[in-house]
Amino acid sequence: MKVLVVDDEKNIRESVERYLRLEGLETAGAENGLSAQRLLSEQAFAAAIVDLRMPGLDGLGLLAWLKEQGLRVPVIMISAYGEIRDAVEAMKLGARDYVVKPFDPEELVVRLKRVLESRRLEAEVELAAAPEGLEVLGDSPAMREIRAMVEKVAGTPSTVLITGESGTGKEVIARLLHSLSGRADGPFVPVNVGGIPETLLESELFGYEKGAFTGADRRKPGMFELASTGTLFLDEIGDMPLPLQVKLLRVLADRRVQRLGGTLSIPVDARVISATNRDLDALVAAGRFREDLFYRLNVIRLSVPPLRERPGDLAPLVGRLIRRLNARLGKSVRGVDAQALEALRGYAFPGNVRELENLLERAMIFAESDTLGPSDLTLPAGAVRAATAARSLDSLEREAIVNALRRWEGSRTRTAAELGISRRTLLNKIKEYGITA
């Protein structure tokens, strides 16, 4: 996060900057309001600490300019003891707080952190409430490899492209990248490109000024501005219209946006992560997606395999989803039985993990037992492999126990919990089926 310090007294300005840098914050200094205007027009700042009295453009004038330009930079005002009335006036004009000279640097940092946190929460409130994301991915080798890649690239500023079918957990990965990055304290702003009409997409991404079009009765910042100091997640990027692809490319190159109906070029500081369930390489070849934009987005690519290609993830995913759904629904379902698990394994899950979660939620709502059976699952007719019906219950049960024991490295307690049976019942079954694992 970068903080602008504006004060005409060099010793105060530089001492504040030094103290903030000791707190791990990046800083820039300006000796007056005019210099501050230039810096604010060129760079993105998380906050500004501004002296009230300065020659030329003073703190109140800078506040008025910020408000006029629609720049959403929270300001802490510095005032002398006799200027408290003016400092209160500054608060009315939009300053978030003020400190009185001489001030304790530690108190200034506390107030600054409070202002930054307040701004972060405001940005989240201003975003449309996003649907609850999936919290689980899986433990297969493929997903462990993706986690390892996420840990390597999370701390870099590079753009990331996440590919995979719908419901595989692409937004989960994007949120993980954000939470492990140096931007974790900033907002995570998800935008479903395919879910916004083309006529509204530009104004949603880049914002608009009052009067820019019919119905624009107020100024509105775009998603790039709201994501400043954080992460902008562009889901379904393959659905972006070609004209907007040109504008997105320019923003990625210049790190600046211009609102619809506006003239000011606004600096933005948001890391961009994009995702798609479409074949972008094919879209580029067909001329439906710009090659230069593709290369901008595709610096790091994470490809998420569909659930049907990682059957080993199914049982642990079922267990985790049931635990999460129990908390949400107020239920106490223990798990699925061996037949139900085999039925799930026989289904291709075109909707992937999202479909699995929806299916389990429906089953848990209507189930009359604390263990889900095949009759509780609403799988499409004919979806289960024909071989499943022909296999005996004993063979299905034995296989389920063997696989669960392998996943839990022989732990009887964890295996029993996954299968939804007691530890004593599991021990009896192990003896009955002659399982030596």
Q: What is the CATH number of the domain that holds 70?
A: 3.40.50.2300
| Statement to judge: residues 207 and 229 lie in one domain | yes
Q: Which residues contact 243 (CB under 8 A, 6 or more apart)?
A: none
Low-confidence ranges of the chain (pLDDT < 70): 81-84, 121-139, 381-396, 437
| Statement to judge: residues 187 and 334 lie in one domain | no
DSSP helix/strand/coil, 3? strand
Mean pLDDT estimate for the chain: 85
Q: What is the model's pLDDT at position 274?
A: 97
Structural domain includes residue 133: no
The whole-model pTM stands at 0.65
Structural domain includes residue 129: no
Q: How far apart are the first and last CA of the chain?
A: 53
**Backbone angle region of 99, left / alpha / beta, with phi > 0 → left and psi within -120 to 50 → alpha:** beta
Q: What is the model's pLDDT at position 389?
A: 46
Report helix angle 423-432 to 393-407, nearest 10. 120
Residue 329 domain boundaries: 309-432
Structural domain includes residue 136: no
Query: How many CA atoms within 13 Å lie on the side-chain side of 177?
Result: 33
Q: What is the model's pLDDT at position 339?
A: 82
- Determine which helix (DSSP H) or strand (DSSP E) holds 316, and give its type and residue range: helix 314-329
| Statement to judge: residues 322 and 300 lie in one domain | no
Q: DSSP characters for 123-187?
A: HHHHSPPPPPPP-----SHHHHHHHHHHHHHTTS---EEEE--TTS-HHHHHHHHHHTSTTTTS-
What is the tens place of the pLDDT at every residue in 71-126? 778 999 988 766 667 777 788 778 888 888 888 888 898 889 888 887 776 665 54
Return d(Cα 189, Cα 224) in angstroms, integer: 8
| Statement to judge: residues 298 and 410 lie in one domain | no
Q: What is the model's pLDDT at position 106?
A: 86
| Statement to judge: residues 291 and 175 lie in one domain | yes
- Determine which helix (DSSP H) or strand (DSSP E) holds 189, and give its type and residue range: strand 188-192
Q: How many domains does the chain have?
A: 3
Q: What is the model's pLDDT at position 390?
A: 43
